Amino acid sequence: MEHIFPDYYRDFRCIGGACKHNCCIGWEIDIDADTAAYYRTVWGEMGARLRANIAWDGEPHFVLGADERCPFLNASNLCDIYIHLGEEHLCGICTDHPRFKNELPDRVEIGLGLCCEEAARLILGKKTPTVLIGGGESTDEIITLRDRVIALLQNREKPVSARIGEMLTLCGAALPEKDLGEWAEIFLDLERLDEHWTKLLETLRDRWQTIDFGGFAAHMSARQTEYEQLLVYLIYRHFANAPDLNEATARAAFAALGYTLLYALGALMWTQSGDFTFAEQVELCRMFSSEIEYSDENVYVLLDVLRENIESYE
Ligand code: SF4
């Protein structure tokens, strides 16, 4: 089966101990059956640690310790399984993360998830348009539409907001008419993990009318590629694996909503502090990804809100 990947994919390197939002903190990690079977056979001190720190009932998973740290994440924020047993004995999730895989009928599309801060830096900092490697022309109608959407989003002759308008028109979608305070309320009703995310949404709900969008647009005028890359990432990851065209177009609206929220939050931060750095953009998008994009439940709730404004393809 052919594999497709974005051109930045092979440039990713985990920064390990230097990572501020280490993916070994805060996530319950399930262990695949083959790796779990191997862990049962390990001898000595490591074997005893493995057996004591894995919940074996149901799907085996690591039992998180204080501050929700993986029990094998050492004081230097390095993985003791990697150090003592070798990379080949990491479980499937730890080997793959932050990579994702969409298995489509005629191809497998792989990429890097924005919830990893180093992947977010790589994706958002890319100056040239993202190119998908492999594949070529497809006869699948969803992939064909997806590729047209990406071409529209990468048309640098137009401002990003106009590109999004063209994407929504092409897909027969529109965002429901809600002001930023109402959108903030909807996001506040979702499941949330990080209190910083909650605080940002509450501030948006309460202060959105004070945002200086004109000033922010001037500040970001030379950084439009960050939003282009965000949108292309969201479309690449979420569009082609939709079960049908109507669902795919709802996901185009989801990408537009993600942009709307992140642009507004960036503008809010700029209005409040007089600056909005690339590092702040990376952190904002990483938070959005881990709070929203990596929660199937939250994505489904948002798609339900967005489906109201989708023209049927039937
Ligand atoms: S979040 Fe990314 S950079 Fe950080 S430890 Fe995980 S894979 Fe490495």
Cis, peptide link before residue 176, omega less than 30° from 0: no
Number of separate domains in the chain: 2
Least reliable range by pLDDT among 8-12, 14-18, 165-169 = 14-18
Please tell me whether residues 139 and 251 are part of one structural domain.
yes
Distance 23 CA to ligand 1 centre (A): 5
Assess whether pLDDT exceeds 90 at residue 27.
no
Please tell me whether residues 231 and 159 are part of one structural domain.
yes
Any domain includes 237: yes
Please tell me whether residues 139 and 260 are part of one structural domain.
yes
Whether 118 is in the pocket of ligand 1, judged by its Cβ within 6 Å, is yes
Please tell me whether residues 73 and 152 are part of one structural domain.
no
Please tell me whether residues 163 and 276 are part of one structural domain.
yes
Please tell me whether residues 144 and 292 are part of one structural domain.
yes
Any domain includes 124: no
33 residue type, one letter? A
Please tell me whether residues 168 and 283 are part of one structural domain.
yes
251 residue type, one letter? R
Please tell me whether residues 78 and 157 are part of one structural domain.
no
2 residue type, one letter? E
Which ligand 1 atom is at minimum distance from the Cα of 20? 4
Any domain includes 115: no
Q: Please tell me the predicted confidence (pLDDT) of residue 17.
A: 80
| Mean pLDDT, residues 77-86 taken together | 92
Long-range contacts, stretch 5-8, CB < 8 angstroms, 24+ apart: 5/109, 5/110, 5/111, 5/132, 5/133, 5/134, 6/111, 6/112, 6/130, 6/131, 6/132, 6/133, 6/236, 7/130, 7/131, 7/132, 7/133, 8/112, 8/122, 8/123, 8/126, 8/130
Residue nearest to atom 6 of ligand 1 (CA): 23
Please tell me whether residues 84 and 173 are part of one structural domain.
no
Whether 114 is in the pocket of ligand 1, judged by its Cβ within 6 Å, is no
Any domain includes 143: yes
Last-in-domain residue among 76, 96, 116: 96
Percent of the chain with pLDDT over 90: 83
Please tell me whether residues 59 and 189 are part of one structural domain.
no
Any domain includes 102: no
Q: How many angstroms separate the CA atoms of 148 and 257, rounded?
A: 19
Residue nearest to atom 8 of ligand 1 (CA): 14
Last-in-domain residue among 66, 96, 126: 96
**H-run or E-run covering 273:** helix 245-273
Q: Please tell me the predicted confidence (pLDDT) of residue 21.
A: 85
Domain that holds residue 262: 135-307
Whether 240 is in the pocket of ligand 1, judged by its Cβ within 6 Å, is no
**pTM for the predicted model, two decimal places:** 0.92
Q: Please tell me the predicted confidence (pLDDT) of residue 20.
A: 87
Q: Please tell me the predicted confidence (pLDDT) of residue 312.
A: 60
Last-in-domain residue among 96, 127, 150: 96
Average pLDDT across the chain, whole number: 94
| Mean pLDDT, residues 151-160 taken together | 98
Any domain includes 211: yes
Any domain includes 10: no
- Tell me the per-residue pLDDT of 273-285, one tens digit each, with 9 for 90 and over: 999 999 999 999 9
136 pLDDT band (50/70/90 cuts)?
Answer: confident
Assess whether pLDDT exceeds 80 at residue 313.
no
126 residue type, one letter? K
Spatial strand order in the sheet of 99-104: 99-104, 107-112, 2-6, 132-133
Evaluate whether 1 touches 108 at the Cβ level (below 8 Å): yes
Please tell me whether residues 83 and 151 are part of one structural domain.
no
Please tell me whether residues 60 and 186 are part of one structural domain.
no
Any domain includes 281: yes
57 pLDDT band (50/70/90 cuts)?
Answer: confident
- Tell me the per-residue pLDDT of 172-214, one tens digit each, with 9 for 90 and over: 999 999 999 999 999 999 999 899 999 999 999 999 999 999 9
- Tell me the per-residue pLDDT of 220-279, one tens digit each, with 9 for 90 and over: 999 999 999 999 999 999 999 999 999 999 999 999 999 999 999 999 999 999 999 999
